[in-house]
Structure 1
C-alpha cells in the first residue's frame, strides 16, 4: 500500500486528488495539508511514502519543503505539481530533490503512474518535460533564472502577477524590507530594470503565460 500525503493550498485540488486516489486499491491518502509548513509537520509525524506537493503556496514554497525533507533525510519521496510547463524550472525542482514532476493538467493515469514509479524509488518526469530537458542539454541552453534561489524565484513570480510588496510579505511571512531585498537582488541577477522587463523575460522563458488584456506590472 502506497501511503500518500497531499500538500496544496487549494482545497478543490486536494479533493480532486482524493477522488482519483481513493479508487486505487494500492493507494491510501493518510493526510492532507493546506501549507508547506503543515505538510512538513505531517511528513515528520506520518512518514508517508509519497507526498504530492504544490510548488507555489503562501509561506514556505514547495521547493523549500522538498529541500528540507532531503536535508533531514526523511524517507518520504516528493512529487511536485505545478501549472508551469517549462524545462528550466523543473530542473531547479529536481535539483532540490524531487523525484517526480507533473503539471496539474496531467491525465489521471499519468498521475497514478508517477506515484507508483516514485514510490518504487524511480524518477518520473512528465513526457513533455523530459523531452525539453533532453533538448536543452543537447543544445546547451541555459536559463538566467537558474541563478535565482528558490525564494527569489517565488518573489519574482508573485511580482509579475502584480502583487504589491506588502502583500507578498504577508503571504510569505516575511518583512516588506526582506521582500524588497529579494526583489532588488533578483533584478540585479537577471539584469532587468523594472517589472515589465522582468515579465517579458519570464514570458520568453515560458515561466509565465502572456495574459491577454491583463494589466502590466509596474
Structure 2
C-alpha cells in the first residue's frame, strides 16, 4: 500500500486528489496539510512514501519543503503539483530533490501513474514539461536562478515574503550575519539591487505568484 500525504493550501485541490487516489486499491491517504510547515511535520511523523506538494503556499514554499526533506535524508519522495509548466522551473525543483513534477491541468490517470512510478523509485515528469526541459537544454536556455545554491534560493524565497534577516536566521538556524552574506551573494549573482527587483525576477520565472507575496526592501 502506497502511503501518501497531500500538502496544498487549497482544500478543493486536496479533496480532488483524495477522491482520485483513495479509489486506487494500492493507495492510502494518511494525512493532509494546508501549509508546508504542517506538511513537513506530517512527513516526519507519518513517514509516507509519497508527498504531493504544491509550490506556492503561504509561509514556507514547496521548494523549501522539498529541499528540507532532501537535506534531512527522509525517505519520502516529493511529487510537485503546480500550475507552472515552464521547463526551467521544474529543473530547479528536481535539483532540489523532487522526484516528480505534474501540472494541475493533468488528468486523473496521469496523477495515478506519477504516484505509482515515483513510489517505484523512478522519476516522473509531465510530458509537456519533459519536452520543455529537453528543448531548454538544446537551446542552451537557463534561468538566472540556476546559479544559486539551494540555500541561497531558500533565503531569496523568504526575502521576497518580507521576512527580516533575524527571522530567516532563526528558521534556518543561521546567524543574521550569515543570512546577510547569503543575501548579498544571491543579489550579486542575480544582478539585482533591491528585494523588489528580486521579487519581480522571481515572478517572471515562476518561482512565486505575483499577488501572494509580501516584499520587503
TM-score norm. by structure 2 comes to 0.76
Q: 1:154 Cα shift?
A: 2.8
- Structure 2: 5+ residue stretches without partners: 170-175, 212-216
Contact conserved, 2:117 with 2:123, CA < 8 A, in 1? yes
CA deviations 1:10-66 (Å, max 9, x no partner) are: 212111111111221221101011122211111121111111011122222222222
* Aligned equivalent of 1:11: 11
Q: Which runs of 5+ in 1 are unaligned?
A: 212-217
Partner residue in 1 for 2:153: 150
Assess, with a 3 A threshold, how the Cα gap between structure 1 residues 135 and 209 changes in structure 2: closer, same or farther: farther
1:127 CA drift (Å): 0.7
The 1:131–1:209 alpha-carbon spacing in structure 2 relative to 1, beyond 3 Å, is: farther
1:113-152 maps to which residues of 2 (within 5 A)?
113-148=113-148, 149-152=152-155
The structural deviation recorded for 1:7 is: 0.8
What root-mean-square deviation, in Å, do the aligned CA atoms of Structure 1 and Structure 2 show?
A: 3.4
Matches within 5 A, 1:30-45: 30-45=30-45
Tell me the matched-pair count: 204
Contact 2:67/2:97 (CA < 8 Å) preserved in 1?
A: yes
Contact 1:84 1:208 in 2 (8 A): no
- 2:103 touches 2:126 (CA, 8 Å); kept in 1? yes
Deviates more, 1:33-42 or 1:56-65: 56-65
DSSP-derived class of the 1:98 partner: coil
Alignment of 1:42-191 (within 5 A): 42-148=42-148, 149-155=152-158, 165=162, 174=168, 186-191=186-191
